[in-house]
Amino acid sequence: GMTAKAIYADGTDKALTATDLNFVSKALTKDDTAVEVSYGSGKFSVPITVEPAVSMELKAPTKTSYKAGETLSTSGMKITLNYGDGTSKTFSSFTAFKLSLSTIVALTEADTELTVSGFGFSKSVPLTVEPAKEIAITKAPKKTEYKAGEKFQYTGMEVTVTYNDGSTLKLAYNKVSYL
């Protein structure tokens, strides 16, 4: 492992631990050749070699069928990067990857797949989103009168989605797109 020592102007020194050092913690790519490390006002680079992944596998989330208005769940989804030496790394947190759909925005019937990209790879999982039969504002927002230049305030508004099977979903006001 790496060892680091701070040497002060008076000639004294201190062995540094990992918690003493500051560095950017990110998923490394094949293009990374060094990691910048700092302690106080001192900085140094640690040369590194990053073995690139040779393939990526995507295990679909547990849920792939939704009703319009629901939000994407990544529960059960796993991404595995495979390396040339036969080893692999499996991720259940996706901060190092780009997801084509948000987990906080309501899905629509146009959302037919989830694509995961990262480290030079891209994989997709098909999704099914049942369209809404009807969408209705079932409770008006608290504020309904405005002056020119003000922004719409949707606080307190309730939107209800009705589906072909008669089931309904009440959407939080922050899950609705406004044009």
Tell me the pLDDT tens digit for each residue of 25-65: 778 888 888 888 888 888 888 888 888 999 999 999 999 99
Distance between CA 56 and CA 2 in Å, rounded?
30
In this prediction, residue 179 carries a pLDDT of: 46
What pTM was computed for the model?
A: 0.68
Tell me phi and psi for residue 153, to 5 degrees.
Answer: -115, 115
**Out of 20-29, 63-72, 107-116, 157-166, least confident range:** 20-29
